A and B are shown apart, each in its own frame.
Chain A
Amino acid sequence: MTKIGIMSFAHMHAHGYAAALNALPDATLAAVWDDDAKRGKAAAKKHGAPFIASMDAFLASGLDGVIVTSENVKHRAMVEAAAAAGLWILCEKPLAPTAADARAMVAACKKAKVGLGTAFPCRWAPPLAEAKAKIASGALGEVRAVTCTNHGQAPGGWFADPALSGGGATMDHTVHVADLLRWMLGREFTKVYCELGNQLHRGELATDDIGSVHLEMTGGVQVSHLASWSRPRSFPAWGDVTLHFMGDKGVLFVDAFKQNLTAYDDQDMRVRWVGYGDSADLGLVADFVEAIRGRRDPSATGVDGLRATEVTEAAYRSAKAGKAVKI
């Protein structure tokens, strides 16, 4: 039985990972630590694991690995502490708000000889995995351009507090797509132009809520990506991840979370999409557990997280400079 601990439930994705851990036959959520004890205790109770108040005691409690799901700016300190304790680490995306932090985390894990993964669960969403396979099969020929979106509803809370998140919608919702494109096309990002906006929430957010991003990849592949917290509260789901590939031989459109029933509910006058697709979290967490057993990095590595952060960092730099910049 592989014993995994969760460090912080600040990010709501922690609940999905905890559920995935409890669903796996060969792994368990063995302990929870949180710098917000009240939040940590509630989460520990919900998922049937002990809460350990001291971080040092938590790291010394016989765990095989940890999942870090704190606020973005706290990732680095927690990852470095876990690495020093010799534990395998899966860190929520973005790996860090800055490339300097991300680089330091990768180096710390390398030095401690522990595996570091970035939580990019989209790689385990079957529609995206199938899209990758189709592209690899050559069915589209050479891919020349891609149009992407990662929309969401505004998460609020610390996500819109730059002191804790390090950035807004563009940081939150660019890294998945950046990672997917690197993974699917086997190319790196070279250049970015970004228009930032924060006009979707009456200017009340301290961060951007729109990023209209133009990217270039090696080989001249042209990419546009819309990262946003633009979905209204009445939208039927949390958001989307869509990729539209233009190839010499054909086109492919994938809407990763479009495996839905549409549910009209008169009780609260809402329309919702009820997903029937497979849980991508389960694949991500299972891969992490296998990585621990095999003493290897998780499939989506710390370096993959660093590369995605380099993209978002450059996007913010571009928006500030008002021109396209190199990555």
Chain B
Amino acid sequence: MNVAIIGCGGMGALHAQMAANCGLKVALCADVVRPAAKALAEKHGAKVAASPEAACAAKSVDIVAITTPTPTHLPLIRAAAAAGKQIFCEKPFCRTVPECEKAIRIAEKAGVKLFVGHVVRYFHEFEKMREQIQAGALGEVGWVKLYRGGVFPGGPKSWFRDYKQTGGATLDSMIHDLDWVRYVFGEPERVFCQALMRSEPVTMDHSQVTLRMKSGLIATVIGTWAQPSGFRVMAEICGSRGMLQYDMNEAPLRMEARATAAGPNWFVPMNPVMKSPYQSEWEDFLAWLDGTGTPRVTARDALAAVAMAEAALKSAKTGQPVTF
């Protein structure tokens, strides 16, 4: 099967590689920044599409992978569905809940499959936590704390500097954890959120959320784009029998270059696994397409995650909890 990559930034390049690893042909690359599309196309022996819309409609393409800024997801899903393509959409699903609902209706009506890449569900460490929780190793789980964040993403001209497009750390990044909490612990009852949500300076956000789940469980979720450097994920899960902790800083592999006159040194913590979680989500998507499996995450799950992030942002604005 042939894949079109729409949006050839970091995520586009990553998903192109994962699709290729799964034996798919990356046939078309599209980006409003044409040199980005050209560079990725060259790497995969693909063609450059005239526009994202043209790539969605191209006859040679079976699957459209959407890795563009969040507000463009809905129009691209519409274009791909109209051409009968199967769709892989990077998270967040869409910028708003009504947009997500529209996207689901469009895909259903067109009879195409729509997958949203909530990749954290495929990470080894998160799967091991879920396994331990479900095996009862912690007893009755009462509290979950998740932390995700680091530097502000994107450079000076990046769409990440437009809070309206990204929804900040809450909608763009914390959405991973909001989805995971719902995945493991069920539906939320209410949410309270503080978020900096700054438009000036544009390169800082810090979001602090408390979720009360219908089960009674409390989840504290922190998402930050305020750190001067790095990226870190942490988890702590407390139950009646014990506690589980994960810290990305305890990586198995670290490398540091000796400082030279040529420039600063670099420091890379790495967590190598046999199969990238991004490839696992592609395999899941492809198994769904050929009818041999049902995916771990559905478009409705992705909608629910956007609803949680949207409710959190509403709470941040009003200063009051929002009930689902």
Residue numbers of A with Cβ under 8 A of B are 126-127, 129-131, 134, 139-140, 248-267, 274-278, 283
The answer to whether A257 touches B252, judged by C-beta atoms less than 8 angstroms apart, is: yes
Q: Let me know if B252 and A263 touch, CB within 8 A.
A: no
With contacts A262-B244, A263-B243 taken as known, whether A134 is within 8 angstroms of B250 at the C-beta atoms is no
B124 touches which one: A253, A259, A262, A266 (CB < 8 A)? A259
Extra 11 A-B pairs, beta carbons < 8 Å, given A252-B253, A259-B273, A267-B241: A250-B257, A254-B252, A254-B253, A255-B253, A258-B252, A259-B252, A261-B125, A262-B244, A262-B245, A276-B127, A277-B252
State whether A267 touches B273 (Cβ < 8 A): no
Quick one: which of A251, A258, A265, A276 contacts B128, CB cutoff 8 A? A276
Chain A contact residues: helix, strand, loop or mixed: mixed
- Contact surface of B with A, Cβ cutoff 8 Å: 124-125, 127-129, 132, 137, 241-246, 250-258, 265, 270-275
Give Cα A262–Cα B238 distance, bound, in whole angstroms: 12
CB distance from A134 to the nearest CB of B (A): 6
Instruction: Let me know if B255 and A266 touch, CB within 8 A.
Output: no
B255 interface neighbour in A126, A251, A262, Cβ under 8 Å: A251
A265 touches B257 (CB 8 A): no
Q: B127 contacts which chain A residues (CB < 8 A)?
A: 276
Chain A residues near B255 (CB, 8 Å)?
A: 134, 139-140, 250-253
- Given contacts A259-B125, A267-B242, A276-B124, whether A253 and B253 have CB atoms under 8 Å apart is yes
Chain A: CB-nearest residue to B274: A278
Residues in chain B near residue A255, CB distance under 8 A: 252-253
A261/B253 in contact, CB under 8 A: no
In the docked arrangement, what's the CA distance between A2 and B159, Å? 54
Q: Which A residue's beta carbon lies closest to that of B125?
A: A276
Task: Report the Cα distance A249→B256, complex, angstroms.
Answer: 9
Q: List 20 A-B pairs, Cβ < 8 Å.
A: A127-B252, A131-B253, A250-B256, A251-B256, A252-B254, A254-B252, A254-B253, A254-B254, A259-B252, A261-B128, A261-B246, A262-B244, A262-B246, A263-B132, A264-B242, A265-B137, A274-B132, A275-B128, A276-B127, A283-B274
The distance in angstroms between the C-alpha atoms of A249 and B258, with both chains bound, is 5
A256 — which chain B residues lie within 8 A by C-beta?
252
Tell me whether B245 and A259 are in contact (CB under 8 A).
Answer: no
What separation, in Å, do the CA atoms of A262 and B271 have in the docked complex? 16
B129 is contacted by which of A254, A261, A277 (Cβ under 8 Å)? A261
Residues in A neighbouring B274, C-beta threshold 8 A? 126, 278, 283
CB distance from B245 to the nearest CB of A (A): 4
> Which of chain A's residues have a CB closer than 8 A to the CB of B242?
263-267
Q: Which of B125, B242, B255, B257 has the most CB of A within 10 A?
A: B255
Specify which of B246, B251, B253, B257 lies most central, judged by the most chain A CB atoms within 10 Å of its CB: B253
Q: How far in angstroms is the closest Cβ of chain A from B210?
A: 23
| CB of B243 to closest CB in A, whole Å | 4
A260 to B249 alpha-carbon distance, docked (Å): 11
Min C-beta distance of B242 to chain A, whole Å? 4
A251 to B267, CA, bound (A): 10
Partner of A250 from the list B137, B243, B265, B271 (CB cut-off 8 Å) is: B265
**B258, A250: Cβ atoms closer than 8 Å:** yes
Q: How far is the CA of A283 from the CA of B250 in the complex (A)?
A: 24
CA A261 to CA B255, docked complex, whole Å? 22
Q: Nearest CB to that of A260 among chain B residues?
A: B250
The smallest beta-carbon distance between A299 and chain B, in angstroms, is 15
Smallest CB separation, B72 vs chain A (Å):
35
Give the complex CA separation of A278 and B250 in angstroms: 16
Cβ–Cβ < 8 Å partners of B246 in chain A: 261-262
Query: Nearest CB to that of B239 among chain A residues?
Result: A266
Closest chain B CB from A114 CB (angstroms): 29
Q: Which residues of B contact A131 (CB under 8 A)?
A: 253
- Which residues of chain B come closer than 8 Å to A278, judged between CB atoms? 124, 273-275
* Bound: A127/B252 CA distance, A: 6
* Chain B: minimal CB distance from A274 (Å): 6
Shortest beta-carbon distance from A240 to chain B in Å: 10
Query: Given the complex of chains A and B, what is the CA–CA distance between A256 and B253 in angstroms?
Result: 8
Residues of B within 8 A of A259 (CB): 124-125, 252, 271, 273
Known: A139-B257, A283-B274. A264 touches B243 (CB 8 A): yes
| Among candidates B243, B252, B257, residue contacting A249 with C-beta atoms closer than 8 Å | B257
